[in-house]
Structure 1
Amino acid sequence: MASAYPNLFIPGAAKSGTSSLHELLNQHPDICMSSHKEPSFWTSDNFHLINNKRIKKYLNYFNTKPNAIYKGESSTTYMLFPGFKERIKEHYNTKDLRFIFILRNPIDRIYSHYWYVKGVGSENLNLKKAILKDKNLEPNFSHELPEGRFKNYFQYGLYGKWLTSFYESFDESQIKILIFEDFKNNPLKTANECFDFLNLSPINTLQELDTNETAIIKYQKLYKSILKITQGNIKLMKPIYLLIPRFIKTKIKHNISDIIIKYTKTNKKYPKLSPNDRLWIKDMYKDDFELLKKVTGKNFNLWKDFN
C-alpha cells in the first residue's frame, strides 16, 4: 500500500490516555498523527462501500508532515471491533505496521467509561446494572450512541481477550504495551520508550499535553437534541439538513460533541468508586488479567488491585 497510508496505530484502550498519547507522539518531527484523532476508517460498518473520495479524505488527515517516517492514528475501535485486522492484512504489507496499546487498570477504566457516558446524559442505570446489561455483548457500530460513544463497558476492558488476537496476527516486535499509570507519572519517559520502539531519536522536552477528562455537563437534554439535529435525526429538520454541504456536516459531526462539552461542563466530580464495587469489578476481570499477563509477558505491578 502507498506510503501515504498510516503505518502506526494506537488501537486502545479507550479512556486510558489515548488522546494524550496521540498528542505526545505528534510532537516528534518524524511522526505525523492524524488531524482527526479517531477516524475509525478500517472498522467502518460500510467499509465495502468506501470509494476514492473517502480514501482521499482519510489520507488528508496525514498531510501536515508529508515526509514523516510514521503516520499514525488512534481509533480505539480497532482494538475490539470486527474487521480491523482482516482489512489491513488485505491492504498492507503488515510487517511495516506498528501498534502501541496504552492500558489502564481495568477497574478504573470501566468506572471512567461509565461516567464518561453518564456525564453527558446517555446512561440512566446504576453502575452494576449498566455493566451487566451488555456484559457479554461485543461492540459494533450498531451500538453507537448519538454522540458517537459506545457503552459495552465490560468488553472494552478485556485486554487479554483482545490483545491475544493481535499477538496471533502480528509479530511481537510490532507491538508495544504502555501502562497508563506510568504514562501519567512520567510522560517524557513514556514518549522516549515509544520513540525507541519506533527506532526514532529521543526528545528532551515535551509541550504541555491536553487531558481528555471525563466531564459532567449542564443541559444534558439540550445536548442530546443538538446532536440529533446535527446528524439529521429529527424529521422536521431533515429538509434543512439535506441542504447543508457534506463537508460542513462532517466537520460539525466530528467537532460538535467536544465543543458542547467544552463550554457546558461543570466542576462536578463523579463519586469515588466504593470498595465493594471495586472488588466486584476486580472479580469479573481476574481471569482476563491472568490471560493478559500471559500474552504480553508483563506483570502490571502498578495495578495494585490484582497484585
Structure 2
Amino acid sequence: MKKANLFVIGASKCGTTSLYEILKEHPNICMSNLKETGYFAKKTNHRKNVNYESYYYHYDDEKVIGEVSPIYSELNVVPWVPREIHNYNSDAKIIYIIRNPIKRMESVWKQTMSTGHWREKIYEQKFGVNINIMPLDFKKAIFNYPPFLEASKYWEQIQEYRKFFNDNQIKVILFEDFVNDPDGVMANIYDFLGVEKVDVSNQDVHLNPSQGKTMINPKYKKVSKLLQEINKRLKMPYIIKRFVKSKVSKPIPQNTIEGNLKKDILNILEEDIIKVLSYADKNINYWKF
C-alpha cells in the first residue's frame, strides 16, 4: 500500500464527521476505517503497538488515502504532529475546516460534556499526554482546556503546518460554506485532491450535531464508572446500555458565549481571525460577530 497522502486536521465541531463520510464514498479515495486514528498525535509508547496501515486494510489502489483527526489541530497539546506527518509523507495534503470560533466553542462544550472530558483524563488515555480533567465551569473550560480557546487560534495552527508543507498542499475551508454550499465546497476539495468531481447533493452534512446530547449526571459519576467496567467485562446488550444511560444521564447545561466573555475572547482572537480569513481568501468580517 502506498502512504496516506491526505490529512483532515480538524477543527473539532466543524463538520469533520460529515466530510469524512462524503470522502469515504468517492471511488478514488480510501479513508481510514476509523475516522479519528489520532495516530500521529500519540506519543511513541502509545503508537508502538499500532500498525498504521491496518487502518487502510480495504485499500484498493485508490489515488487518495486519508484520515480525519481533529486532534491534529490542537498543537498546544500535541505540537509534534506537523513534523511527524511530514516525516511520514512530505507530499501529503492538509485540509483544515474552520468555523466561527464562538459558535465552535459553544458546540465543543456540549461535545466534551457528552464524551466525559470532565470526569476522565481523555488526552492521557488516548494520546499519552497528561492534561487535567476539564473543568465543569464553562468559563474556566474555555480558557484552560485545550479544545476551546487555544484550538480556536486557527492561524497559529496553520502556521505550524506551513513550516513543513507548502501552501499549495494546504486547503482551508469554512464550515459555514460547507453547510450552505456542500456541492461547491466538495468540488473545490476534489480539485485540490486531483480526483474527479462527484455529485454530493444527496449527502447529509449535518452529522454528529450538538443538539440532543446528554451527559452523565455528576452525582452518578462513580456509578457510571462501575457500569463501564462491568460493560467491558460482560459486554452488555445495547438496549440495556441505553436504558442504564437514560437513568444516569441528564441534559447538558446550555451555555452561550456573550457579553464581556465574548468581548474578552474576541480581543484575544482578533489578529488570528483576520490572518486566517485572509489566508482563506475571505472578507475579515465573514463571521459577523
Q: Normalised by the shorter chain, which TM-score bucket?
A: 0.7 to 0.9
Alignment of 1:1-307 (within 5 A): 3=2, 5-45=3-43, 47=44, 50-51=47-48, 54-55=50-51, 58-79=52-73, 80=75, 81-92=78-89, 94-95=90-91, 97-119=92-114, 122=118, 125-134=136-145, 151-209=146-204, 211-214=207-210, 215-217=212-214, 219-221=216-218, 226=224, 230=228, 264=246, 270-293=254-277, 295-299=279-283, 301-305=285-289
Change (3 A) 1:290 1:274: closer
CA–CA separation in structure 1 for the residues paired with 2:172 and 2:135: 34
Q: Percent of pairs identical after alignment?
A: 26
Partner of 1:141: none
CA–CA separation in structure 1 for the residues paired with 2:35 and 2:215: 25
> In terms of mean alpha carbon deviation, does 180-189 or 79-88 score higher?
79-88
1:218 positional shift: 5.4
Q: Show structure 2 runs of 5+ residues with no match.
A: 119-133
1:301 positional shift: 4.4
CA–CA separation in structure 2 for the residues paired with 1:116 and 1:260: 18
| Partner AA of 1:110 in structure 2 | M
1:67 positional shift: 1.9
SS for the counterpart of 2:65 is strand
SS for the counterpart of 1:54 is coil
1:31 positional shift: 0.9
Contact 1:103 1:180 (8 Å CA) reproduced:
yes
Q: Show structure 1 runs of 5+ residues with no match.
A: 135-150
1:132 positional shift: 2.8
CA–CA separation in structure 2 for the residues paired with 1:49 and 1:115: 28
- TM-score of the aligned structures, taking structure 1 as reference length: 0.72
CA–CA separation in structure 2 for the residues paired with 1:300 and 1:272: 23
| Partner AA of 1:76 in structure 2 | P
Change (3 A) 1:224 1:187: farther
SS for the counterpart of 1:304 is coil
- TM-score of the aligned structures, taking structure 2 as reference length: 0.76
Contact 1:38 1:76 (8 Å CA) reproduced:
yes
CA–CA separation in structure 1 for the residues paired with 2:203 and 2:102: 27
Contact 1:104 1:179 (8 Å CA) reproduced:
yes
Q: Deviations over 1:163-196 (max 9, x none)?
A: 1111221111111110000001121221111001
| Partner AA of 2:57 in structure 1 | N
**RMSD value over aligned CA atoms?**
3.3
CA–CA separation in structure 2 for the residues paired with 1:83 and 1:229: 36
Change (3 A) 1:300 1:206: farther
